[in-house]
């Protein structure tokens, strides 16, 4: 039963990743794309955690930690870039 739930969770998260991608492609301004990228990073962290817990490979959690860190730094860097430049 947990097998099925895990599959469903992964499918739902993949759907969410797809929606974030649509916003990245369509987003009229750069901040829209940054918000979507931020959400994408968080969703990937969740996906990795679910996969790590369902497969039992604990080392994958370290990758999730690193992605969470780098996603935050990237968001802040993009925001400084927006504050200085043209948002279009």
Q: Which residues contribute to the site for other proteins (CB under 8 A)? A: 1-2, 5-6, 8-9, 12-13, 15-20, 22-23, 29, 31-32, 34-36, 38-39, 42-43, 45-46, 49-50, 52-54, 56, 58, 61-62, 64-65, 68-69, 72, 75-76, 78-80, 82-83, 85-87
- Determine the Cα–Cα distance for residues 88 and 72; give it in Å rounded to an integer: 22
- Determine the Cα–Cα distance for residues 55 and 40; give it in Å rounded to an integer: 22
| Cα angle 40, 45, 49; round to 5 | 145
Please report how close the Cβ of residue 74 comes to other proteins at its closest, in angstroms.
9
Please report how close the Cβ of residue 78 comes to other proteins at its closest, in angstroms.
8
Counted residue by residue, the chain has a size of 88
Please report how close the Cβ of residue 26 comes to other proteins at its closest, in angstroms.
9
Closest CA to 67 of 48, 87, 88: 48
Please report how close the Cβ of residue 73 comes to other proteins at its closest, in angstroms.
9
């Amino acid at each position: 039963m947990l097998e099925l739930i895990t599959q469903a969770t992964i499918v739902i998260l993949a759907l969410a990743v797809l929606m974030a991608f649509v916003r990245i492609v369509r987003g009229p301004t750069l901040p829209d794309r940054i918000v979507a990228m931020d959400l994408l990073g968080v969703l990937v962290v969740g996906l990795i955690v679910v996969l790590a817990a369902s497969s039992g490979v604990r080392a994958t959690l370290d990758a999730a930690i690193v992605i969470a860190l780098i996603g935050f730094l990237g968001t802040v860097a993009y925001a400084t870039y927006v504050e200085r430049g043209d948002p279009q």
